[in-house]
Amino acid sequence: MQAPPPDPSSMPKLELGGAKAWQRRQQTLRDFELRLEDRVKRSASVFLLLVVLGVLAFLAAKLMLTELSWAARLQRMAAGMLYLGAALVSLGLLHRVSVRAGTLFFCWSALALQLGAAAYYGTGLYSSGMATLVALLAVVGLLLGPGAAVRGTVLTVLGILGLWFMQEQDLLGKVEPNTFPPLASFAVVLVMCALVVGWLALRHGTLFREVMLSLDSSRQLLADTLRAQQTAVEELRASDDRMRVLLDHSLSCTLILDGETGQLRFANAQTLLKHGCERISELDASLFFPGDPFSREQGLAHMREVLSQGAQYFEWQTRHRDGTPIWWDIKLERLHVCGETIVVAFAHDITERLRAENELRVQRARLEEQVNERTHELISEKQRLQDIIEALPITLSIRDCQGRYTLLNRSFELATGHGREQVLGLSARHFMPAEIAAEIADTDAQLIAGKASMTTERQIMHPVDGMHDYLVTTVPLLDARKRTYALLNLGTDVTSLKRLQRELSLAKDEAEHLARVKSEFLANMSHEIRTPLNAVLGLAQLGVGRAGDPAAARSGFERITRSGRHLLSVINDILDYSKVESGKLEIDPLPCNLSHLAREVLDLVAERAEAKHLRLRLDYEVAEDWVAIDALRVTQILVNLLANAIKFTDKGRVTLGVTQAADGLRLSVTDTGVGIAPEQQARIFKAFEQADSSVTRQFGGTGLGLSISSRLAEAMGGEITVSSEVGKGSCFTLRLPCVVVSGEAHAQPLINAAVPPDLLRGLRILIVDDVDINREILQDLLCLAGAEVMSADSGEQALARLGEAGPEGYDLVLMDVQMPEMDGYETTRRLHQMAPRLRVIALTAHALPEERRKCVAAGMLGHVTKPIDQAELMQALLEHSHDLPRRAADAISPSQLVPLDAAPDVQPRAPAMAPASPPTSVSTESQDSAVPTAPTVPTAPAARTSFWPDLPGCDFEAALTRCAGRQELLAKLLGTFAKQYAQYQSVFEEARISGLPALASAAHRLKGLSGNLGLSRLAQSAESLETAAGGRGDPAQVPAALTALIREIAPMVSSIAAWHEAYTARIKA
């Protein structure tokens, strides 16, 4: 397309006929001319070949003139040889240049040679070659045309006249017999001339006739063609008018473009109307090409595609004269008309259609959005339903009325061991045993027949887990017409219940047996407890009456002491057994001097042996005295074994043997007592059992000592064995694994000393704990000991504190290991990156060995458990700071610590409203009456018990000790605790939603905090929840543990809040 387009009046009319016929005729004439030229060329070639043959014959005739000499013969042959050369040169020109060039050269050469030879030889008109002139004229006329024939005739006539004139004037000389041509020469020349002229007449006479006939035919054809073209022009004009009228009245726009230049040659009236134009000249290029992507280059590209590939279909935009865009659906078609290529564009206005489509598209998009939202809701609802079905702990499946499974959940797959792809579309007989499949089919038949529901018990064999018991309930699913279309099956795994029933049956028998055994035990306990109690009470009454007799009173009190010890031993056995049974017994191996332990054990039972006049002996064969064992538990076992040996030996000796073998430590107790029968040796290690019930009546005892000792040995990784012979005595051997440790002096911890106010003076300590109450307790304790204290509530803040103070800014760090965001382990690692020599001590509510190993792996040196024990804390700080230079004063050596009985009379601060009272003794469960207990850390004088909230399961006296006896500090911390956990339900609900790790972390924080504040029962509930949620217990117990914790914390928070409010009011008053 090019602009501006020409005016319609100046546009050429389209020629639709006659051109091809004219082209065909022109091609026919060209073909005829080529054929004629070819025939002439062949004729000239034949002519020249005949000349060559004739000359050769002439030369042969000359050679046969034997009467002439060779010189004469060669003289006469010279003209023939010249003829031969001219003929050969002409043949070359004929094929190399053209027919006319070759023929002209030969004819003029032959004419000149012939006339020249006649003059040279003097034969004149008598020359035999004169006849060839006639043949030459024929060749020139027929091959070269009339002009050449005229010129040849004129030259020939002039030549003949010249020879005649010269011969008449005797200028040539007379013809002698020897110069007169022979008759053979005349015969050859005449024959050749006759053949040439005859052949030319025959050959070119036919050609001339064909040419003439072709010219006549062409003349007639040309006349017919002109008449046909005139008729075609008139028809074309009429057709053009009709076509223009049709195109102008068409509703489509039609444009005709030049195929080579793209110039607009025609546009119908509809095109002008659509673009607001009246003439084609007004169709400016800017209307057809409004701009990218509808540019001139793009339009020409479409034209190139239609010319190379054929018809093209596309959408295009043009512009009305007023600027309104118009959209077109265009077809470009390539046409060949009258030998030229044109491109025709057929365009349909689709502007309104596109507008409607756009509106429809908007409506469709809005509808699709609504459909998508609803579909998403349906998919979400379906997914929720699917998730619920998959999460059900019971098996769920749906079968159609033909018994084929159409839906099932994950529990069904786990129960049967078959995946969905193996079950869906199949009936039960394809993957279940025949009897179960038959039972299912019978159930389905009854429900389809109208039964409401059925519940049956089935046993299903799982390929991995074995046989499981299921309680299956099947109900029919009804359609709108109340007809059953499917069956819903819900199966509950009652394997555990069935197993429990069987176990309960077995347990019932065992319980009945235990009931009988415990009845005997209670009878024995009744005797064992009543006997010393009667003695205690009776002797006490006698002591009242003998107050004036000191000797009698002393004897009575000694007997009371022995009875009390015996009663305490019985009670201790019962308490120790309860600990072993509950799994709360902890083993803590520490360095121990084995020889001292053995002697102390013998000292503990020496009085009993002396009472029976028995000898005690120690066989000690150990190279290394210091070993790592739980000395308390080993002492308890040995005391039990020695006490039993003394009890059942009337005379002789009791020996304690200590030896060291390759597999560990061996401690044996050998006596010369009554001995034990072989059949009774297996019973003595069972609870409430003795070798013979008569023994209990004779010697007394609970029957728990050996059972407890055996369980303690197993807990330490060892065992107790017995070898005995009735009447000769017994030997009990305790085998324990042990580790030999350094023999250096293991000084006793400094926890039995009072804490001076300058114990930690000169040390800068950083406390890192996310619970503010814990930080406040620690800060108060450390400040009272003289330390300079800073605190941080997170790992990030601890890093910032160290960054501000520098690598040498702090001597020690007390690090809570469980904090949100950055825990204590990661914080310790990062602190060591900043200050590699910084000493970190862990603070945690975990006392497990694996927790200690994690602390060591993170770079922590020590470990202090919560609730914080003041003595343990001070001991850990002294142990890891003894070699550090003090900033203000020298560190206090252990010798400077004041014992309890020599401590200065300095009391910690206490509120004025609650005067201090004397220390109260706290009853604890002793492991054995004969085992000495270590003194405890001195506590500040405690306030009246009634001062604190009256809550069960709370030890506020221990909490007051952790607060250094400061009642106002403990009261403040309790108030802070009540405020922090006022919304306890939301705290634990948010943690539960966040996941089990968050719940375990919240429980861990509460455990440490409540332990520090003396809320012991709450700390235990928090520990149970932490164990269940933290991966060390059963996650299924989390809901129960959380419920128990909420039940425990609810009254505690409300009671503490009410108490603190009243306490604050009293302080203000």
pLDDT tens digits, 574-607: 555 555 555 556 677 878 888 888 988 888 788 8
Q: How confident is the model at residue 656 (pLDDT cuts 50, 70, 90)?
A: very high
Backbone angles phi, psi at 400, to 5 degrees: -80, 180
Q: What is the pLDDT of residue 228?
A: 81
Q: What is the pLDDT of residue 940?
A: 36
- When mean pLDDT is compared across 65-79, 163-177, 744-758, the lowest value belongs to 744-758
Q: What is the pLDDT of residue 189?
A: 60
The amino acid present at 360, given as its one-letter code, is: L
CB–CB of 295/289 below 8 Å?
A: yes
Q: pLDDT tens digit string along 728-785?
A: 899 999 999 887 776 544 444 443 344 677 788 889 999 999 888 788 888 888 888 8
Q: What is the pLDDT of residue 211?
A: 57
The amino acid present at 702, given as its one-letter code, is: T
Give yes or no for residue 912 having a pLDDT over 80: no
Q: What is the pLDDT of residue 1?
A: 40
Beta bridge partners of 314: 330
Q: How confident is the model at residue 668 (pLDDT cuts 50, 70, 90)?
A: very high
DSSP, residue by residue, 412-468: HHHHHS--HHHHTT--GGGTS-HHHHHHHHHHHHHHHTT---EEEEEEEEETTTEEE
Q: Which domains are delineated in the chain? A: 33-205 (no CATH), 251-353 (3.30.450.20), 393-500 (3.30.450.20), 585-740 (3.30.565.10), 764-880 (3.40.50.2300), 956-1068 (1.20.120)
The amino acid present at 78, given as its one-letter code, is: A
Beta strands 839-844; 812-816: pairing state:
parallel
Q: pLDDT tens digit string along 127-145?
A: 666 666 666 766 666 666 6
> Which has more pLDDT, 176 or 50?
50
Give yes or no for residue 860 having a pLDDT over 60: yes
Q: What is the pLDDT of residue 963?
A: 75
Q: What is the pLDDT of residue 245?
A: 79
Backbone angles phi, psi at 190, to 5 degrees: -65, -45
Contacts 24+ apart (CB under 8 A), 372-378: none
> Which has more pLDDT, 1052 or 658?
658
Burial of 426 (0-12, 13-18, 19+ CB in 10 A): middle
- When mean pLDDT is compared across 274-288, 650-664, 806-820, 890-904, the lowest value belongs to 890-904
- Mean per-residue pLDDT of the chain: 75
Nearest to 124 by CA among 61, 166, 66: 166
Give yes or no for residue 794 having a pLDDT over 60: yes
CB–CB of 106/140 below 8 Å?
A: no
Q: pLDDT tens digit string along 350-396?
A: 899 889 989 999 999 999 999 999 988 888 888 888 888 888 888 88
Q: What is the pLDDT of residue 900?
A: 29
Beta strands 788-792; 590-593: pairing state:
unpaired
Sheet holding 788-792, edge to edge: 788-792, 764-768, 812-816, 839-844, 862-865
Give yes or no for residue 658 having a pLDDT over 90: yes
- When mean pLDDT is compared across 32-36, 484-488, 504-508, the lowest value belongs to 32-36
Average pLDDT (646-673) is 90
CB–CB of 629/601 below 8 Å?
A: no
Q: pLDDT tens digit string along 1001-1040?
A: 888 888 888 888 888 888 888 888 888 887 777 777 888 8
Q: What is the pLDDT of residue 33?
A: 65
The CA R_g of the chain, rounded to the nearest whole Å, is: 67
Which regions of 241-380 does DSSP assign to beta strands (E)?
253-258, 264-267, 312-319, 325-337, 340-349
CB–CB of 36/29 below 8 Å?
A: no
Q: What is the pLDDT of residue 212?
A: 53
> In this structure, what DSSP letter does residue 294 have?
B
- Dist CA 827 CA 858 (whole Å): 9
The owner of tokens 């001219």 is 86
Give yes or no for residue 30 having a pLDDT over 70: no
CB–CB of 633/744 below 8 Å?
A: no
Give yes or no for residue 271 having a pLDDT over 50: yes
> Which has more pLDDT, 31 or 777?
777
Q: What is the pLDDT of residue 889?
A: 45
Average pLDDT (41-61) is 79
What percent of the chain is predicted at pLDDT more than 70?
72
> Which has more pLDDT, 200 or 290?
290
Beta bridge partners of 347: 253, 330
Average pLDDT (803-812) is 89
CB–CB of 539/577 below 8 Å?
A: no
State the pTM of this model: 0.31
Average pLDDT (57-61) is 79
